[in-house]
């Protein structure tokens, strides 16, 4: 029978995919080969349901006769297999990657977890804070700790005694409860995530003390700002768990990379004939990534952007503007540097194909159609400036001297501004801001139109009444985090923030109503942005809208603008990070309360260590971040903090009304707000009018326009190479080599990240600290020096040919 053949196909496991058992008898199942045949299983399930209906109909029709109908041959044991598949995640990538079992007896918050977790969090926080101020900033990611703690955990399991302490009490614990398990490893990685993440509040303190001369800022006040801005996100995360963690459709694609890596490091697997186990594949890819990164990272940095058009036309400004991957449109440019490829859009191997298609469409429309047309028609005097730049300019094409429009108290000097003339930015940069405006309104509009009914249903009824997948069912055995835990953290952080702002108004400039407005923005946007990120792996940012709003409402106060951005944007960003970690715990079956404690503790450790390191450096490094007073070869130039400071000048000091308002050059860019709100409505209407055209529903306007708004600082080559790899992985390999994709795709992504991270740290410690450089043409960026030149007649810029 056909059903029997399907049953055999679904049950076929093959060597190397046998079921594994935890040390406590828990059942940890690798994704069975039956899950590779979702379509076959779905067809079988439909036949089973039809068979049941026919059987019931026959029984009903024959009930008037005293004859019992024969058993229906259409109801077979295969139906049980199909129904088991139906319980799995409706997202096929999740069903193929995430194990569907659990070991509920495995110890979680062990002595090893606390020691290794706290140590990795503190170490990553210190290193990232320390190296973040240097000329070439270095970010050490959590994947470094994820790999490094595995041998440490196993060593502790082998060496520590298993003596029980506080025996007979609820606090009983042992230094060594048994073998180091995957749940401990996951929680340690959650600690490390806190240390690897950015702490935006530290940027505020650096700008206030160094750039705005607020040396009297008390450490205690700075610590309050840092900690409250970091933990406030827990409040929003608690509000939206029901919508962004529990539903199977909210699958958070990047988490599958972590799941694959944990499985490779912990699951035992027999090697298949003519193939590698997952662990072996990871090690091979890790070593290759580690060894290769010495080339784009040090020896041959041009691999970051191979812009061959520039090499063919070394004296043409136009050709280099077209071909430069770093300073132009990047036509034909290709990057062979994983750090560059994954730096802005995340790993291309973790991107769903639908999201990739939207990113590609948005990129090509903006970069290859809108930008050239506006540049060559000289919109906003575009040809006076580079075609691609995030710099601030005078109308003559020269860089704008920001310090010349501030008085000795760092306040805006209107007379000096009128003397210097209005501030200009490249047309590319102006339209990038416009896309950021459009993305914010499009996000709300898209979520209301395409997800509004789901949100309403989840709001009306209890979650337990809704359909659950296998992972949610398995998590039901654990105690959930009570809502009041999140509410207490939220209320306390808001109260402490308002206390700090009101009592230290001179240092922070932010009034109490600014705190409440920032919280309102975070509440309003966290859910729609979270839905976009949880389904596409792309997330619009709130940084632009927070700067814009506060710049209008409270102009001339740059520190207030920075604080408002931290509480509005960073609060929402932190909430999404917490929710993503909760989903990782959901996949790995981590008790929610243990996950909560690890997140809170890691966040407090990270914020304290970040600020302590920054404060120590500002007190001990003379003239830190001041390029005019530092020696020419100084490494303490603080490039990231200068970007943060420049934004505070534009939005907080000069103000949006002089950029995008009636007094500004770019007031028409405000129409992007309306365009963003209307665009999803057009897509939704087209979907309703032409339901047979299935592709229309996949047009995701926030992703289409939002990801390109990260340019600059993102460059063309960051996008072109990312799109190519994401297409090959998410479409070609996923469609035609599904078996290979299932076993290796996410694992390859984790191996590339890990190898790069370890080599980057090694290069920095061995060569970067001593400022040892390797000068030759292969390290000349992308070899396009003229790409940053203007093309307008009469504009003279050093290093560029004049046009007359």
Pairing of strands 173-174, 20-21: unpaired
What residue has token string 């979520």? 447
3-class state of residue 314 by DSSP? coil
CA distance 221 to 292: 45
CA distance 257 to 250: 16
**Of 559, 553, 557, 556, residue with least CA distance to 520:** 553
389 and 788 Cβ atoms separated by less than 8 Å: yes
352 and 698 Cβ atoms separated by less than 8 Å: no
Interval 460-480: pLDDT, tens: 654 445 568 899 999 999 999
Largest alpha-carbon pair distance within the chain? Answer: 103
558 and 649 Cβ atoms separated by less than 8 Å: yes
- Predicted local distance difference test score (pLDDT) of residue 278: 87
CA distance 753 to 717: 19
Contacts of residue 92, defined as CB under 8 A and 6 or more positions apart, other chains included, come to 38
Contacts of residue 140, defined as CB under 8 A and 6 or more positions apart, other chains included, come to 124, 127, 128, 131, 196, 757, 760, 761
- Predicted local distance difference test score (pLDDT) of residue 461: 57
730 and 357 Cβ atoms separated by less than 8 Å: no
- Predicted local distance difference test score (pLDDT) of residue 391: 85
CA 32 to chain centre: 30
Contacts of residue 22, defined as CB under 8 A and 6 or more positions apart, other chains included, come to 28, 103, 105, 106, 181
Question: To 5 degrees, how large is the angle CA 733–CA 29–CA 596?
Answer: 95
**Of 53, 467, 16, residue with least CA distance to 249:** 467
Verify cis geometry, omega within 30 degrees of 0, for the bond prior to 712: yes
432 and 666 Cβ atoms separated by less than 8 Å: no
In Å, how far are 641, 671, 732 from 703, measured between CA atoms?
28, 19, 21
- Token pair belonging to 640: 């990231």
CA 528 to chain centre: 15
* H helices present in 566-638, as ranges: 571-588, 592-620
Burial label for 410, CB within 10 Å (0-12, 13-18, 19+), is: middle
- Predicted local distance difference test score (pLDDT) of residue 460: 66
DSSP letters along 107-155, please? --S-HHHHHHHHHHHHHHHHHHHHHHTSSS-----HHHHHHHHHHHHHH
CA distance 509 to 557: 7
- Predicted local distance difference test score (pLDDT) of residue 618: 93
Q: pTM to 2 decimals?
A: 0.85
- Predicted local distance difference test score (pLDDT) of residue 316: 93
CA 101 to chain centre: 28
3-class state of residue 481 by DSSP? coil
- Tell me the residue length of the chain: 804
Residues with pLDDT less than 70, the chain:
1-86, 214-215, 409-410, 460-467, 803-804
* H helices present in 537-570, as ranges: 543-553, 558-565
- Predicted local distance difference test score (pLDDT) of residue 250: 93
Burial label for 317, CB within 10 Å (0-12, 13-18, 19+), is: buried
DSSP-assigned letter for residue 68: P
- Token pair belonging to 229: 């801005």
In DSSP terms, 21 is beta-bridged to 27
Contacts of residue 665, defined as CB under 8 A and 6 or more positions apart, other chains included, come to 380, 422, 424, 659
- Token pair belonging to 756: 């790069």
User: For the CA atoms of 346, 350, 353, 354, what is the dihedral angle to 10 degrees?
Assistant: -60
**Of 197, 137, 214, 204, residue with least CA distance to 645:** 204
Contacts of residue 776, defined as CB under 8 A and 6 or more positions apart, other chains included, come to none
Contacts of residue 116, defined as CB under 8 A and 6 or more positions apart, other chains included, come to 149, 152, 153, 156, 188, 191
Contacts of residue 631, defined as CB under 8 A and 6 or more positions apart, other chains included, come to none
- Token pair belonging to 676: 């963003």
Interval 93-129: pLDDT, tens: 999 999 988 999 999 999 999 999 999 999 999 999 9
CA distance 781 to 387: 18
End-to-end CA distance of the chain: 82
């Amino acid at each position: 029978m056909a059903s029997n053949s399907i049953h055999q196909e679904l049950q076929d496991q093959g060597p190397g995919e046998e079921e594994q058992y935890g040390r406590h008898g828990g059942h940890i199942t690798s994704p069975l080969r039956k899950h590779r045949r979702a379509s076959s299983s779905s067809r079988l399930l439909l036949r089973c349901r039809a068979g049941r209906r026919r059987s019931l109909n026959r029984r009903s029709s024959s009930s008037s006769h005293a004859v019992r109908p024969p058993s229906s041959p259409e109801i077979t044991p295969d139906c049980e297999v199909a129904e088991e598949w139906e319980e799995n995640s409706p997202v096929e990538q999740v069903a193929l990657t995430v194990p569907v079992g659990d070991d509920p007896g495995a110890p979680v918050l062990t002595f090893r977890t606390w020691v290794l977790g706290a140590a990795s969090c503190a170490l990553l926080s210190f290193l990232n804070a320390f190296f973040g101020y240097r000329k070439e900033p270095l970010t050490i990611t959590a994947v470094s700790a994820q790999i490094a703690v595995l041998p440490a955990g196993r060593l502790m399991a082998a060496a520590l005694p298993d003596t029980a302490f506080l025996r007979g009490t609820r606090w009983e614990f042992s230094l060594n409860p048994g073998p180091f398990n995957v749940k401990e490893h996951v929680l340690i990685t959650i600690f490390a995530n806190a240390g690897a993440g950015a702490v935006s509040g530290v940027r505020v303190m650096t700008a206030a003390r160094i750039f705005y001369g607020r040396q009297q800022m008390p450490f205690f006040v700075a610590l309050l700002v840092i900690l409250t801005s970091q933990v406030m996100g827990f409040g929003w995360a608690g509000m939206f768990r029901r919508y962004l963690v529990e539903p199977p459709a909210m699958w958070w694609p990047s988490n599958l990379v972590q799941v694959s890596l944990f499985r490779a490091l912990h699951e035992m697997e027999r090697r298949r004939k003519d193939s590698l186990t997952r662990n072996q594949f990871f090690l091979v890819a890790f070593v290759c990534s580690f060894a290769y990164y010495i080339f784009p990272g040090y020896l041959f940095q041009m691999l970051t952007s191979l812009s061959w058009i520039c090499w063919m036309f070394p004296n043409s400004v136009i050709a280099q503007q077209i071909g430069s991957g770093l300073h132009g449109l990047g036509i034909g440019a290709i990057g062979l540097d994983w750090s560059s490829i994954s730096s802005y859009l995340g790993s291309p191997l973790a991107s769903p194909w639908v999201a990739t298609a939207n990113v590609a469409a948005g990129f090509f429309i903006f970069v290859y159609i809108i930008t050239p047309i506006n540049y060559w028609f000289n919109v906003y005097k575009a040809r006076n400036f580079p075609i691609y730049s995030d710099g601030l300019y005078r109308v003559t094409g020269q860089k704008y001297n920001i310090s010349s429009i501030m008085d000795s108290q760092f306040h805006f000097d209107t007379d000096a501004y009128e003397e210097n003339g209005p501030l200009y930015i490249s047309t590319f940069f102006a339209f990038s801001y416009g896309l950021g405006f459009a993305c914010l309104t499009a996000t709300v509009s898209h979520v209301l139109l395409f997800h509004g009914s789901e949100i309403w249903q989840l709001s009306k009824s209890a979650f337990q009444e809704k359909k659950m997948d296998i992972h949610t069912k398995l998590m039901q055995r654990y105690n959930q985090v009570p809502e009041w835990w999140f509410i207490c953290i939220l209320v306390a952080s808001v109260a402490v923030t308002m206390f700090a702002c009101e009592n230290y108004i001179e240092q922070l400039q932010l009034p109490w109503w600014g705190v409440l407005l920032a919280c309102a923005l975070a509440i309003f946007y966290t859910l729609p942005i979270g839905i976009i990120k949880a389904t596409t792996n792309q997330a619009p940012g709130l940084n632009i809208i927070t700067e814009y709003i506060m710049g209008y409402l409270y102009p001339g106060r740059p520190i207030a603008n920075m604080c408002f951005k931290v509480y509005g944007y960073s609060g929402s960003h932190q909430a999404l990070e917490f929710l993503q970690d909760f989903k990782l715990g959901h996949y790995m079956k981590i008790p929610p309360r243990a996950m909560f404690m690890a997140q809170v503790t890691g966040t407090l450790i990270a914020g304290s260590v970040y600020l302590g390191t920054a404060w120590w450096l500002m007190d001990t490094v003379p003239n830190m971040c001041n390029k005019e007073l530092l020696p020419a070869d100084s490494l303490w130039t603080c490039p990231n903090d200068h970007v943060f400071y420049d934004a505070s000048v534009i939005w907080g000091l000069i103000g949006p009304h002089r950029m995008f308002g009636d007094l500004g050059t770019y007031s028409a860019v405000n129409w992007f707000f309306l365009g963003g709100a209307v665009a999803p409505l057009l897509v939704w209407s087209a979907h309703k009018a032409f339901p047979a055209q299935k592709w229309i529903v996949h047009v995701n306007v926030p992703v289409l326009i939002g990801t390109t708004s990260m340019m600059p600082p993102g460059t063309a080559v960051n996008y072109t190479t990312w799109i190519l790899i994401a297409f090959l992985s998410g479409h070609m390999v996923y469609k035609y080599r599904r078996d290979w994709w299932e076993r290796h795709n996410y694992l390859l992504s984790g191996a590339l990240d890990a190898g790069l991270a370890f080599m980057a740290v090694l290069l920095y410690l061995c060569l970067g600290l001593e400022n040892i450089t390797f000068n030759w043409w292969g390290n000349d960026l992308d070899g396009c020096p003229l790409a940053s030149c203007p093309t307008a007649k009469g504009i003279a810029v050093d290093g560029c040919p004049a046009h007359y």
